[in-house]
Structure 1
Amino acid sequence: MLAIAAAVVFGIWLLLDFLNTNLGAPDLFNFQTMATLGLLLLSLYLAGVGSGPRNASGTGSGRRFYGRRPGRG
């Protein structure tokens, strides 16, 4: 989810750069701010923050096989 948010941030920044606009706030929408925000979101994603729900009980691997397991002859 955070990687998608980072992609959205980079996409908005790229669009603002192509349109050559700053939306009336040149100190808010500059390269350093948008790059820092995007890289922060990417680093949080790579660190595992917000990667989805975890198995609270700690049992099982999170992958469930019902019926025949794949790869078994």
Structure 2
Amino acid sequence: MVGIVAAVLFFVAFLINAADISTNDAFSSTNVMLLGLMCLALHMAGVGTGWARRR
């Protein structure tokens, strides 16, 4: 699930960069890309995979 969120964030960052949309500093394409990288790192670490052991 976190990997899908990362893909969506990368796509939004690409659209902001490709369309040259002027946004404020908190929502720039670099910041959205960094959020995508954080979600990708969480996905690679196993967070949100759904393989939890339950009793």
TM range (shorter): 0.7 to 0.9
Q: Which has the higher helix share?
A: 2
User: Bigger relative contact order, structure 1 or 2, given CA contacts below 8 A and separation 6+?
Assistant: 2
Q: TM-score, normalised by structure 1?
A: 0.64
Q: TM-score, normalised by structure 2?
A: 0.81
Count the aligned residue pairs.
55
Runs of 5+ consecutive residues of structure 2 not aligned to the other structure: none
Alignment correspondent of 1:65: none
Detail structure 1 runs of 4+ shifted over 6 Å in the superposition: none
What value does the CA root-mean-square deviation take over the aligned residues? 1.6
- Return the match for 2:38 from 40, 55, 63: 40
Give the fraction of aligned pairs with identical amino acids, expressed as a percent: 35
One-letter identity of the residue aligned with 2:28? N
Say which one has the larger Rg. Answer: 1
Runs of 5+ consecutive residues of structure 1 not aligned to the other structure: 58-73
